[in-house]
Amino acid sequence: MNLLSRISLRTKFMLILVVVTTGMLSVYAYLALNDFQSDKIAYVFESNSSGSRSTANQIRSELTFVLEKLEVYLRGYNLETKSFHPFAQSQFQTETLIESVWTYHFDSQVGDYRFYTQIGKDNLGLLQSPAWQEYFLAVAKDAISNEVTIRIFDPNPTKWIVALKFQADMSERPSVIMGLVSKSSFVEAFSGATLFDSVLVNGKGEAIVSPINPNYLNDPTETQLAVQATLEKIKAPVGTYKYQSETSGGWLISVASIGLGDMKVISMLPEKTALEAIEALFVKSIILFLLLVSATVGISVLASRRLTRAIKSLFEATKKISQGDFNINVKVDSQDEIGGLANGFNHMAGEIKRLLDETAEKARMESELNTARLVQATLFPENQFENENISLRGFYEPASECGGDWWYFSQIGSKTYLWIGDATGHGVPAALVTSAAKSAASVLERFPDLKVSELMKLMNEAIYGTSKGQVLMTFFLGCFDSSNGTLTYSTASHDPPYLIPWKNGENVKKRDIVPLMEKVGARLGESPENQYEDVTIQIHPKDRIVFYTDGVPELKNSNDELWGERKFLKTLMNSYNKNHDLDISMQDLSEGIAEHRQDQPLEDDVTFFMIEYKKAS
């Protein structure tokens, strides 16, 4: 680390350019060669698979045609005399495709299959030669096991042998008819020089036709291991497989089923041969890599001198900023990125100075807002109240530091005054109006003989005197008299509280809930001349009244969907019908609000409280 710190910036710059360029080129070369290798292997697999399918289709086509001819010659075949029908023999005189046809039957005396009869040419006496008899016996047994099999005729690679199992009676052992075919197109796939080496295998995985002049498959043992591994891996009629040999490396293999006798064409190509082009590309990439690194070193030497001089000026400027001096101006005579960096640095220094001033001002304002929030908290009563006549529970959550909702209650003798209001908007202006409302209520509650409508009129004058019509306030004021169970109220366009009546244990329905919204007056603060009226209703024991502001039904979730009056009333009814007390009902309502809200920030204050009439005083 000490040695690195003593290296000049110019040298570091050069090292960075070289290291970064080298690293990026190395990564790019690795990814490019890796992608090219993957594409090349995919291409080889596709080409290999296409060749296998083509060869398989060709074999199936030619084999099907020859098998149909052999079945024709089997018509009328006498199993007792082991002889062909005279018609078949005469028909064979005009045959141009098949040179010779012969049969193998099981001989119980020798306990094995042996040659019996033939029509056509004898082809150099092959059927009489002990060596060829052993060869043809193996072909016959392969046909017994696999229904049908073929071989390329070794003395003449342009010809091939077809062997077909036939059986007249299931109680007897099957027999085999063979034909020597003089013409073939598919043999070229095994005899001619191609990109791949192809092998034809039977149902046991034994190679029955191998490359006559193989390019790569020179080890029969290695070939058989690759074939067995491929057949174990690929059970489908066609497929590809990458086989890894311990001795010869990787092989790219494709399989295509002929569809007859469970025979399959397997084409193979060494992975090393398929990727020879990549080795040449790798050498060229190394040469290009060295040229680019050399060019990078030269460019870095030329660019570092001017660049480090400009950076040094910026470094000196940062020292001044670290000392608290933001009145700086870095001069760089260039229009490139360094010049832009210098201009940005100068702008940043000015912005930092401005932001520091704004931060100090914001901290002062936040301190004042916190003070205002603490003061506003004193405007609200305790959330719980209980006496022998009524129970009361309340809740309040502002949308910002200072809210525009306010609720309150006060008890004078047998009367309980219930206040709730919602000032326009929220924040400091709304909070000032709620403070005025609390101050007015504190004075007015000293005059219990005034009607509720008169109290509301005085509240209107107080709000108007505070806001001069700039901030309005919906309001509801009620006076509950526990001596006679009456509630007298007056409303200033506030959301109507809901009276939930006691139904003697029966469930309350929506139609039973009474909204307190008769004789609605104008909002507080609109005009000092506003007039309000009283409304008196009878309350019975176990009746419950829910007071709230519009922030409850208009609560929004993350999808900007309103909670709505229907869900609000449903929550109230479900809780009331379950005979929950006020504490649990408040919890039910809070949980319903939280479930809909989904932790979304509030757009409006949320305020509600409930009272329940227990008994008359």
Of 260-274, 411-425, 495-509, 535-549, the range with the lowest mean pLDDT is 260-274
pLDDT at 401 over 80: no
3-state class (DSSP) for residue 101: strand
pLDDT at 3: 61
3-state class (DSSP) for residue 368: helix
Q: Quote the tokens at residue 600.
A: 């979304």
User: Cβ distance 481 to 414 under 8 Å?
Assistant: yes
pLDDT at 384: 92
pLDDT at 77 over 70: yes
pLDDT at 416: 92
CA 82 → CA 77, 85, 107, 117, 177, distances in Å? 7, 10, 12, 7, 11
Query: pLDDT band for position 577 (50/70/90)?
Result: very high
pLDDT at 354 over 90: no
CA 194 → CA 47, 221, 318, distances in Å? 12, 22, 71
Of 133-137, 355-359, 423-427, the range with the lowest mean pLDDT is 355-359
pLDDT at 1 over 70: no
SS (H, E, C) 479-530: EEECCCCEEEEEEEECCCCEEECCCCCCCCCHHHCEECCCCECCCECCCCCC
Amino acid at 424: T
Of 168-177, 250-259, 378-387, 550-559, the range with the lowest mean pLDDT is 168-177
Of 93-97, 150-154, 185-189, 600-604, the range with the lowest mean pLDDT is 185-189
Write out pLDDT tens, residues 155-207: 667 788 899 999 877 768 899 999 888 877 777 777 665 678 888 888 888 88
Q: Pick the residue with more confidence: 2 or 86?
A: 86
pLDDT at 368 over 60: no
Residue with tokens 């042996």: 114
Q: What angle do CA 477, 483, 485 make, to 5 degrees?
A: 60
pLDDT at 540 over 80: yes
DSSP for 116-157, written as a single string? EEEEE--TTTGGG-HHHHHHHHHHHHHHHHHSEEEEE-TTST
pLDDT at 362: 61
Q: Average pLDDT in the 421-432 region?
A: 80
Q: Pick the residue with more confidence: 209 or 588?
A: 588
For residue 238, the surrounding DSSP H or E stretch is: strand 238-245
Map out the domains of the chain with their CATH numbers: 11-274 (no CATH), 378-613 (3.60.40.10)
pLDDT at 332: 61
pLDDT at 55: 85
Q: Average pLDDT in the 576-588 region?
A: 92
Distance between CA 249 and CA 271 in Å, rounded?
8
Q: Quote the tokens at residue 236.
A: 């489908």
Query: pLDDT band for position 610 (50/70/90)?
Result: very high
Q: Average pLDDT in the 581-606 region?
A: 91
pLDDT at 421: 92
Query: pLDDT band for position 420 (50/70/90)?
Result: very high
Query: pLDDT band for position 607 (50/70/90)?
Result: very high
Mean pLDDT over the full length of the chain: 82
Distance between CA 150 and CA 158 in Å, rounded?
13
Write the burial class of residue 594 (CB in 10 Å: 0-12 exposed, 13-18 middle, 19+ buried). Answer: exposed
Write out pLDDT tens, residues 277-317: 666 666 777 777 777 777 776 776 666 666 666 666 666 66
- How many Cβ atoms from other residues are within 10 Å of residue 560's Cβ? 8
pLDDT at 74 over 80: yes
Of 10-19, 44-53, 230-239, 547-556, the range with the lowest mean pLDDT is 10-19
Q: Average pLDDT in the 216-245 region?
A: 85
Strand partners, 506: none
pLDDT at 5: 58
Distance between CA 582 and CA 403 in Å, rounded?
25
pLDDT at 277: 64
pLDDT at 151: 85
Query: pLDDT band for position 4 (50/70/90)?
Result: low
Q: Quote the tokens at residue 75.
A: 């018509």
pLDDT at 350: 66
Query: pLDDT band for position 211 (50/70/90)?
Result: confident
Query: pLDDT band for position 430 (50/70/90)?
Result: confident
Q: Average pLDDT in the 133-141 region?
A: 86
DSSP for 386-433, written as a single string? E-SSEEEEEEEE-SSSS-SEEEEEEEETTEEEEEEEEESS-SHHHHHH
Task: Report pTM.
Answer: 0.45
Percentage of the chain beyond pLDDT 70 is 78
Distance of CA 226 to the CA centre of its chain: 40
- How many Cβ atoms from other residues are within 10 Å of residue 9's Cβ? 14
pLDDT at 196: 80
User: Cβ distance 532 to 456 under 8 Å?
Assistant: yes
**Phi, then psi, of 209 in degrees rounded to 5:** -135, 120
Q: Is the dihedral of CA 523, 524, 530, 532 positive or negative?
A: positive
pLDDT at 15: 72
Q: Average pLDDT in the 29-56 region?
A: 77
Q: Pick the residue with more confidence: 283 or 592?
A: 592
pLDDT at 444: 81
**Phi, then psi, of 267 in degrees rounded to 5:** -105, 135
User: Cβ distance 211 to 201 under 8 Å?
Assistant: no
Query: pLDDT band for position 514 (50/70/90)?
Result: very high
pLDDT at 492 over 90: yes
User: Cβ distance 208 to 150 under 8 Å?
Assistant: yes
pLDDT at 435: 82
Q: Pick the residue with more confidence: 122 or 562?
A: 562
